[in-house]
Amino acid sequence: MSTLVVVGFTTVEEAEQVRRELVDIQREQLLSLEDAVVVEHDGDGQVHLRQSLNLTATGALGGGFWGTLVGLLFLNPLLGAAIGAGVGAVSGSLSDLGIHDGFMRELGETLPRGTAALCLLVREASPDRVIERLRAHAPHAKLLRTNLTHVDEQRLRHLLERASKQAEALRLA
């Protein structure tokens, strides 16, 4: 089962920076993400979702591959690729994989204007090592929601608090 973690930040830029760093951390096998979305509540009161994955493009690419393969079998690869890409793009645009958009929009409405949240759907992680890597952002991060057990949620809050204190101590030194 995947774990939902929503962390609030004072600026959109910081939420985006943390998301980029999480992608790098994922390459090091310390984290496995299913979805990572920055939710922004802008100064005009509008909620914007900044998806990390373009499902339409991904669907078109996958559909194009399978369409070409089927087209080769029936001696018409160009037609097969075109049909496959079209079907893939449509299915990609209609699917809502990962974190439900309605949930993120509702969450965005609760954020103070001008702030953001980073919504993560985590398959696997080494929380202590990930938070250690993100320590510089800890003073500005606040755990907003999670589907962790109460015990695991308390452990995560403790790790965030400890990282925040360490970051503050480094800043003062």
Q: Where are the domains of the chain?
A: 3-52+111-172
The reported pTM is 0.71
Do 120 and 36 meet the contact criterion of CB atoms below 8 Å apart?
yes
Do 114 and 41 meet the contact criterion of CB atoms below 8 Å apart?
yes
pLDDT in tens, 34-56: 999 999 999 888 999 998 754 43
User: In terms of CATH architecture, what is 3-52+111-172?
Assistant: 3-Layer(aba) Sandwich (3.40)
Do 33 and 121 meet the contact criterion of CB atoms below 8 Å apart?
yes
Length of the chain: 173
Gap between the Cα atoms of 96 and 103, Å rounded: 12
Q: How far, in whole angstroms, is CA 61 from its chain's centroid?
A: 21
Q: Which two tokens stand for residue 22?
A: 């999480």
pLDDT in tens, 106-161: 999 999 999 999 999 999 988 888 888 888 887 778 889 999 999 989 988 888 88
Gap between the Cα atoms of 111 and 18, Å rounded: 18
Gap between the Cα atoms of 142 and 149, Å rounded: 18
- Please, what is the average pLDDT of the chain? 79
Residue 171's pLDDT band (boundaries 50, 70, 90)?
confident
Q: Which two tokens stand for residue 102?
A: 């309605």
Gap between the Cα atoms of 166 and 98, Å rounded: 33
